[in-house]
Structure 1
Amino acid sequence: MSIANNPVGIDDFLESIKPVLGIEQDDETRMIGIYGIGGIGKSTVAIALYNEYADSFQGSSFLANVKETSKLPGGLVQVQENLLFEILGDRSLKLFNADFGISVINHRLQYKRVLIVIDDVDHRDQLRKLAGDIGWFGCGSRIVITTRDRHLLEAHGIKHSYEMKELNYLQSYQLFCLNAFREPNPPELFGELTSHILDYAKNLPLALIVLGSFLFGKTPKEWESAIARLKSVPNREYNEILKISYDGLDDFDQAIFLDIACFFNGESVDYVMKILDACKFFPDIGIRVLTDKSLVSVDNNNKLWMHDLLREMGREVVRKESPNNPGERSRLWFPDDAIDVLTENLVSSLISSFLFHSWQMHH
């Protein structure tokens, strides 16, 4: 699997998690939890772990963005089918429902030594239907789960866990420089400016990557302007820190960013391109810009993804258009809001037709 550009600290992580993973103990099946705050790099290190060890197992599967996929109609069934396909190679295997999927996973995988990564879990029901018990899998299997919620791991009876910590200063420095300058150290004119930026990014990988990508190619004067903006952020809230990169986009790219944040996370790139092209948003250029600025990514299945923190920042931009009256906002993504607004005839001329797409996705 492809890993994030310019990964820093991955080798240190792989070394520190070895005792928890216990690969050498192939007579024991383990579930391992990796937990930590949003944006700290759980998915990145899970991909690195998967790439490092997948070939050591009879079968392997990386289930990405489980939280978001499970929100879609039939989403968990789709994830179950992907799990079985990646390990068994049988695309014709179709599941009637999630309960049937549980039975098939248990029956077909209980004698296979597998590595499965279940990425970004936020509800125990997702674990019940994807990895309900270690007995579902063959001896020596490793099931790795990433989540923000340590208590979810405890509730599922997971005894082996690893807390993702913030990067240290040197790692933060390297990660930022690789994104801001495409080299491990700043040019002479940018040394002090780099130190100021690091003070605000708080060693959070997502913030370091987004800010670095935003500042790449900009002049010292533009850096000073960005630092002045950061100084005005109350309590250094991540939403406002990340919003600096959004504010630097042109109108078309901002519109595409907000549409992805509100409606298109996890959708096929081709589908999103078709919709946005019909709206005259020039998505071929826009999505490339967002990708270059690390605001969105495209996975191996050609699906478009935006990090949780970036998506919430985008939705907050829309909410602030009219905090108390959804009918005056440019986009509606909650079906109940859309129905209420339509029922009460409060739709403003600004409301995007995408609200109908959102309604259909949830019904």
Structure 2
Amino acid sequence: MWRTALCEAANLSGWDSKNSRDDSELVQSIVEDISKSILNKMPLSVSKYPVGINSRVEDVLKSLNIESNDDIRILGIYGLGGVGKTTIAKAIYNRTSYHFKAKIFLENVREKSITKGIIHLQETLLSEMLKSRNLKVHNISRGTNMIIESLCSKRVLIILDDVDNSDQIEKLLGKCDWFASGSRIIMTTRDKRLLDTLGNGVSTYRVKELNRNEAIELFSKHAFRSDKPSENYLKLVNQVICYAQGLPLALVVMGVDLYGRTELEWESALNKYEKNSQ
């Protein structure tokens, strides 16, 4: 038994001190690698009150068939801004990522492509998927090729959050025709037409707004710290529900804003909401 244990220990990968200038650099490298390993296993923060999320996640999971290794599935999740696309995608990542050794949830692609650039997104994708700290991309075309060359033989889970043009997809994933069998690619976007440009191999899922009961429950969680609204606020709550039109983000923002306020303060706030929307 001890011989077996020694053989297994000898085959474990570790840190080579020859690659570090001194002991402090080696220790820092070990700490960073362990920290990254722990962070990669932590679930993404989804929502404080995930009202309506589970049923929608289950709908998506049915179409993904995660456990199958026989095919490649590309899914586009679309809907209005604030309807919960990112929340659902994060929940899907938490539910499925353990099936994949190479996986990433690349958040805020639209915003980061502007503020930090596509090369930064390419480096983030490569670093997280390959678990390497020192990957550098020197130009966009080479970055795309590096992604394809490095990942084409791996079963991957890639979630691109909030894409808004095909150029972002092409520079991060090429023509989407190179994935290994069993891979799952998910994109969230407000624009269904963007998904249509990717061809027939992409399935789509429209995130529907919350129904009335879900909207009341979510709003009440934030505005009253309860599943139901207070009786004397019912008329005002109905105004909020009509105004929010089933969008979770609007319900959360207003619920937080109105928590602990008097009826008069609610009326004043609702008037401001309506004026700002005109």
Q: Is 1:23 aligned with 2:76?
A: no
Whether the aligned pair in 2 keeps the contact of 1:107 and 1:136 (CA below 8 Å) is no
> SS at the partner of 1:165?
coil
Letter in 1 for 2:151: L
- Structure with greater contact order relative to length (CA < 8 Å, sep ≥ 6): 2
Root-mean-square deviation (Å): 1.7
How far 1:18 moved relative to its partner?
A: 2.2
Q: Is 1:86 aligned with 2:128?
A: yes
Letter in 2 for 1:124: S
Q: Is 1:96 aligned with 2:138?
A: yes
Q: Is 1:215 aligned with 2:252?
A: no
Q: Is 1:150 aligned with 2:187?
A: no
Letter in 1 for 2:202: K
Give the counterpart of 2:166 among 114, 124, 129: 124
Letter in 1 for 2:145: S
What are the superposed Cα offsets for residues 95-131 of structure 1, whole Å, 9 maximum, x if unpaired? Answer: 1111111111111111111111100101101000112
Whether the aligned pair in 1 keeps the contact of 2:102 and 2:130 (CA below 8 Å) is yes
Letter in 2 for 1:91: R
What are the superposed Cα offsets for residues 289-344 of structure 1, whole Å, 9 maximum, x if unpaired? Answer: xxxxxxxxxxxxxxxxxxxxxxxxxxxxxxxxxxxxxxxxxxxxxxxxxxxxxxxx
Whether the aligned pair in 2 keeps the contact of 1:60 and 1:114 (CA below 8 Å) is yes
Whether the aligned pair in 1 keeps the contact of 2:84 and 2:248 (CA below 8 Å) is yes
Give the counterpart of 1:53 among 96, 105, 112: 96
Letter in 2 for 1:149: D
Q: Is 1:141 aligned with 2:183?
A: yes
Write the distance in 2 (CA, Å) between the matches of 1:105 and 1:191: 54
Which residue in 2 is equivalent to 1:240? 277
> SS at the partner of 1:179?
helix
Write the distance in 2 (CA, Å) between the matches of 1:79 and 1:159: 22
Which residue in 2 is equivalent to 1:43? 86
Identity fraction in percent? 44
Runs of 5+ in structure 2 lacking a partner? Answer: 1-43
How far 1:49 moved relative to its partner?
A: 0.8
What TM-score, normalized by structure 2, do the two folds share? 0.79
- Is the deviation greater in 156-165 or in 220-229? 220-229
> SS at the partner of 1:145?
strand
Structure of larger gyration radius: 2
How far 1:8 moved relative to its partner?
A: 1.1
Q: How does 1:1-363 map to 2 (within 5 A)?
A: 1-72=44-115, 75-157=117-199, 158-230=201-273, 232-233=274-275, 240=277
How far 1:40 moved relative to its partner?
A: 0.9
Write the distance in 2 (CA, Å) between the matches of 1:217 and 1:131: 47
> SS at the partner of 1:120?
coil
Whether the aligned pair in 2 keeps the contact of 1:8 and 1:171 (CA below 8 Å) is yes
Whether the aligned pair in 2 keeps the contact of 1:29 and 1:134 (CA below 8 Å) is no
Whether the aligned pair in 2 keeps the contact of 1:66 and 1:121 (CA below 8 Å) is yes
Write the distance in 2 (CA, Å) between the matches of 1:81 and 1:29: 24
Which residue in 2 is equivalent to 1:282? none
How far 1:28 moved relative to its partner?
A: 0.7
How far 1:39 moved relative to its partner?
A: 1.2
How far 1:192 moved relative to its partner?
A: 2.8
Which residue in 1 is equivalent to 2:13? none
How far 1:65 moved relative to its partner?
A: 0.5
Aligned residues: 234
Whether the aligned pair in 1 keeps the contact of 2:67 and 2:99 (CA below 8 Å) is no
> SS at the partner of 1:217?
coil
Write the distance in 2 (CA, Å) between the matches of 1:79 and 1:227: 40
Runs of 5+ in structure 1 lacking a partner? Answer: 234-238, 242-363
How far 1:31 moved relative to its partner?
A: 1.2
Write the distance in 1 (CA, Å) between the matches of 2:46 and 2:61: 19
Letter in 2 for 1:100: R
Whether the aligned pair in 2 keeps the contact of 1:30 and 1:134 (CA below 8 Å) is no
Whether the aligned pair in 1 keeps the contact of 2:218 and 2:252 (CA below 8 Å) is yes
How far 1:141 moved relative to its partner?
A: 0.6
Write the distance in 2 (CA, Å) between the matches of 1:124 and 1:182: 42
Letter in 1 for 2:189: T
Whether the aligned pair in 1 keeps the contact of 2:61 and 2:92 (CA below 8 Å) is no
